Structure 1
Amino acid sequence: MSLLVRDRSFYKSFFSLTLILGLQNAITIAVNLSDNLILGGYSEIALSASSLANQIQFIATFLMIGCSQSVIIMASRFWGENELHPIRKVAGVGMAISLCIGVLMWLAALCSSSWLLSAMTNDVTVIQEGAKFLTIVSFSYVFFAVTNVLLATLRSMEIVKIGLIVSLFTLVINVTLNYGLVYGYGGLPKLGLEGSATATLISRIVECFIVITCMLKHNQALRLQLLDFFKLDRLILKQYAKIALPILLSSLSWAGAMAVQTGILGHMGTSAIAANSVATTIFQFVTVISYASATSSAIIMGKAVGEGLFQKIKAYSQTLQVLYVLIGVLTGIILFIAKDHVLFLYSISEEAKDLAAAFMTILSITVIGTSYEMPALSGIIQSGGDTTFVMYNDFIFMWLLILPASLLGAFMFNFSPVIIFVVLKSDQILKCFVALVKVNRYKWIKVMER
């Protein structure tokens, strides 16, 4: 306990960053939750179809978030060194990679939507409806690629309020258009599931232009210019690739695993798909602080490494680990209580509601592990420069342990959806032991080549 930080500025920085980022995450999840509720009230088929289509969107989003994480890791170090010119170069490289991913995922979703969805379910109606949704929403990937990197650049400089304001605008636009286009209110055409996808696309476009406008207005310090995105510095590109490649592979592995998990539950019936969608959406909403703590930790630790405060890094990491556990326990309590008060909002079958309640009970326990291991690995270890370890760790746990066990349980032993869900989420507890050992050995601090 003597290693805990006693400096008030550390706690002020951590909690202010975490709360603002948590609010932004909450608003982003609220957009997804509103989609979930509106479609859940429309029909169970629409909810299941959008849930499957969103797995493809989840892969695209996760990869582009991987690009932004790499920007934060590098740029926060330069911010700690008070060097702004390299931050512009990092932003340019991150934007180029993110746009490439956005375009490729857009083309994949546009050309192969039915084939991609058929890998996750054999329900023809769900596939047909999901393909319509995915075809429209895939156009938003390019706009999200731009928005994501610009906000990451600002976050690395501890400028986080812009993202919160942008998210508020997106929430209002998305909810208004979603409700109007799904049900045909306010003089808008009744488009059902396609209306929800159209609302998401319009929201992403507006969001992108708002962020660009904010960047132009608040760009005095960074002085980021359009040319910075076309002149790629070779050394920065080399360093970025070294950090980003393991993160992108880890993101692809994790997102692909989530799609396989949904596919496993998808082959166990429409009720299992709907229950998973409901439980996952509510879980994402109550864990916003846990995920925000990972980003704020990456900024704080990256800045500390850039400033050369190696004597403080040990105390920082010890303190952060205690905070993660406290956040996890509080989150678990909130999720357990919430499960009895939200399911009435959904127009789904009683079987789906019972499954969703069981899934949320399981998540209220595993979230304690998630709240510790996820920020410890992606916030502390990755920000120190050791991104390869996290990639191997995710791959081994998910693809060599969890998914094979789940596939055997679902298709060979015919376990119930609840038992399969326990197996699918067990890695969140198991990873804690690995994270505990790795973080406290302090071999994850890597100095960048200059």
Structure 2
Amino acid sequence: MQSEKRQILHIVAPVFVSLMAQNIIGITDTAFVGRLGEVALGGVTMATMAYFCIFTLGFGLGIGTQIIVARRYGAGSYSAIGNILWHSLLMLLIAATLAIGTGLIGGETFFHSVLSSQRVATAATAYWDWRIWGFLFAFVGIVFRSFFVGIAQTKVLTYNAVVMAVVNIVLDYGLIFGKLGLPQMGLEGAAIASVLAEVSSLIFYLIYTHIVVDFKLYGLRKKLLQQFDWRLMQKTLNLSVYIMLQSLLSLSSWTLFFFMIEQLGERPLAIASIIRSIYIFLYISISAYSTAVSTTVSTKIGAGLTAQIPQYLRQVAFLSLGTMLIACLITVIAPSAVLHIFTDETSLIEAAKPALYVICIALCICSVGNMYFSAVSATGASKMALIIEAATIVFYVGYSAAMTYGLQAPVHICYTVEIVYYVLIGLSSYLFVISGKWQEKKWSEIKE
């Protein structure tokens, strides 16, 4: 058992550090932009939420690629991995091109149509027009992440994230406020800094892969056009499409939640924006453990060790909950200090405290439930993951609408939707996994 826990932490620790470094980017943006005022903070938040709604489609394709890579790695079919990655790269380049084109054409109209505050809409558009160019570099970077996580070599994610964080923090400071000899660009500066951080990330991946990875072992020397395989692309899409839709549903509903909050006014949106940054930071450990679940469960299936999966999930859920309890305890002991990172306004800090306590409860529930939810897709049953997500989202959106449009409740009451959401997601996933139905061929999207 101790050996199993060490293996879990071997995967989780580097991913945790890399995600922490990556999320420092978001925290830095919020902390710096928060000094420009509540309108600027709200605009950047809305544009960022829209950005990640599109990004999650590419990330979902990356998760599908990661699961297939891990399955081949577990089965010892190393040379087949390169072909999987080349096809994934082609699909992600097409997706990035479509994302940028869509963003350029419809971004401004979208924000001015859905946001009640035209000041916030203008700020969101100013940020968005620069930020969307990051799709190209971020989507290509997803291929590298899928490869390294799929073969359980996650240390590189840490190095990469540190590079991103350093570049973003330095450029944020310089471009937002006009320091370090750089022009003062405000919101646009924050967007440009984020894009350049993604460029630096991709450059690092390219250099690291060229130096460290055995191209021959993983079949990376083969050229895509010489071995194009429509069936492989279809297999990747069959698995990924449900993960993509599930991720899009999840993030879109969260984005819709923020649009609903925006209808309550600029102050509630400012509170929600700050809480969102803290929420995402606390969520890091959950993402790290979920990554371990996605890789290890798929690898165990590939190696014929399916009997070990239930015990493995219990162990990783226990570790995940323990980590989250520690993080939340620190947060609730010193809420003012945590909130002060994002704003100097005493009244805003006091108004945000109740919502901070609510998300801590929600994340403790999530720390267990999401391990089982990640396992659903990792087994290949990505269609079931989509069904679970879709059913829960219907309730999520209805609850959110009732709290905002109906009751016009305080932000912390609106955030209770997260508690109910994670209870439903976790319970549904747990029941499916322990039932063993994922072993039935009708649920698996990975056709051997």
Matched to 2:378, the amino acid is S
Query: Which deviates further from its counterpart, 323-332 or 173-182?
Result: 323-332
Q: Is the 8 A contact 1:331 1:368 kept in 2?
A: no
Q: How far does the alpha carbon of each residue in 1:241-272 deviate from its partner, in whole angstroms, 9 at most, with x for none?
A: 22111111111211211110110111111112
Q: 1:449 corresponds to which residue?
A: 447
The one of 244, 249, 272 aligned to 1:253? 249
Native 8 Å contact 1:286 1:335 kept in 2: no
Give the 3 Å change call, closer, same or farther, for CA 340–391 of structure 1 in structure 2.
Answer: same
Q: 1:287, 1:331 within 8 Å by CA — same for their partners in 2?
A: no
What CA deviation, in whole Å up to 9, does each residue of 1:286-327 have, x standing for no partner?
221111000011111111111111232232233333333333
- Aligned partners of 2:362 and 2:418 also within 8 Å: no
Alignment of 1:281-320 (within 5 A): 281-320=277-316
Tell me how far apart the structure 2 counterparts of residues 231 and 351 of structure 1 sit (CA, whole Å): 62
Q: Distance in 1 between matches of 2:327 and 2:343?
A: 26
Would the alpha carbon gap of residues 449 and 50 (structure 1) be closer, same or farther in structure 2, given more than 3 Å must change?
Answer: same
The alpha-carbon deviation at position 349 of structure 1 amounts to: 4.5
The alignment status of 1:99 with 2:93, answered yes or no, reads yes
Instruction: Identify the range of structure 1 (351-360 vs 14-23) with the bigger mean alpha-carbon deviation.
Output: 351-360
Task: Give me the whole-angstrom Cα distance separating, in 2, the residues matched to 1:255 and 1:105.
Answer: 16
Question: 1:334-345 to 2 correspondence within 5 Å?
Answer: 334-345=330-341
How far, CA to CA, are the matches of 1:229 and 1:402 in structure 2?
44
In structure 1, the residue matched to 2:391 is: 396
1:3 is aligned to: none
Equivalent position to 2:329, from 321, 330, 333: 333
Q: Is the 8 A contact 1:250 1:394 kept in 2?
A: yes
2:132 is aligned to 138
Within 5 A, what are the aligned runs for 1:72-151? 72-151=66-145
Give the Cα–Cα distance (whole angstroms) in 2 for the partners of residues 421 and 232 of structure 1.
47
2:424 pairs with 1:426? no
Gaps of 5+ in 1: 1-5
Range with bigger deviation, 202-211 or 417-426: 417-426
Output the CA distance in 1 between the equivalents of 2:226 and 2:54: 23
Q: Could you tell me whether the CA contact under 8 Å between 1:37 and 1:346 is conserved in 2?
A: yes
Contact 1:272 1:352 in 2 (8 A): no
> Which amino acid is the alignment partner of residue 389 of structure 1?
M
The gaps in structure 2 that reach 5 residues or longer are none
Structure 2 letter corresponding to 1:329: L
Tell me which amino acid in the other structure corresponds to 2:263: H
Answer yes or no: is 1:215 the counterpart of 2:206.
no
Amino acid of the residue matched to residue 109 of structure 2?
W
1:114-138 superposed Cα distances (whole Å, 9 cap, x missing partner): 2222354211111112101101010
In structure 2, the residue matched to 1:30 is: 24
Cα–Cα, structure 1 residues 358 and 330, in superposed 2: closer, same or farther, change >3 Å? same
Q: What corresponds to 2:52 in structure 1?
A: 58
Q: Quote how far apart the aligned CAs of 1:415 are.
A: 2.5
Distance in 1, matches of 2:300 and 2:418, equals 36
Quickly say closer, same or farther: Cα 1:273–1:207, change in 2 above 3 A. same
Q: 1:336 to 1:17 in 2, by over 3 A?
A: same
CA apart distance, 1:73:
0.9
**Cα distance between partner residues in 2 of 1:78 and 1:423:** 39
Moved more, 51-60 or 95-104: 95-104
CA distance in 2, matches of 1:306, 1:129: 48
Between the two proteins, the alignment pairs up a number of residues equal to: 442
* 1:175-254 alignment runs, 5 A limit: 175-220=169-214, 221-225=217-221, 227-228=223-224, 231-254=227-250
Structure 1 residues 194-203 or 114-123, which shifts more? 114-123
Q: Which region of structure 1 is more displaced relative to structure 2, 366-375 or 178-187?
A: 366-375
Identify which range, 57-66 or 174-183, moves more after superposition. Answer: 57-66
Q: Structure 1 66/288 Cα, relative in aligned 2: closer, same or farther at 3 Å?
A: same
- The share of aligned pairs that are identical, in percent, is 17
AA of the residue aligned to 2:376:
I
Aligned residue for 1:254, secondary structure, equals helix
* C-alpha contact (below 8 Å) 1:67/1:244 kept by paired residues: yes
Give, in whole Å, the separation in 1 of the partners of 2:196 and 2:83: 30
Name the SS for the 1:190 alignment partner. coil
Q: Deviations over 1:373-430 (max 9, x none)?
A: 122111x1211111111111111111x2121222133223333333222135421123
Q: Which amino acid in structure 2 is aligned with residue 392 of structure 1?
A: I
**Partner Cα separation in structure 1 for residue 328 and residue 338 of structure 2:** 16
Normalised by the length of structure 2, the TM-score is 0.93
Aligned-residue RMSD, C-alpha = 1.9
2:5 and 2:364 mapped to 1: Cα distance? 21
Map of 1:382 onto structure 2:
377
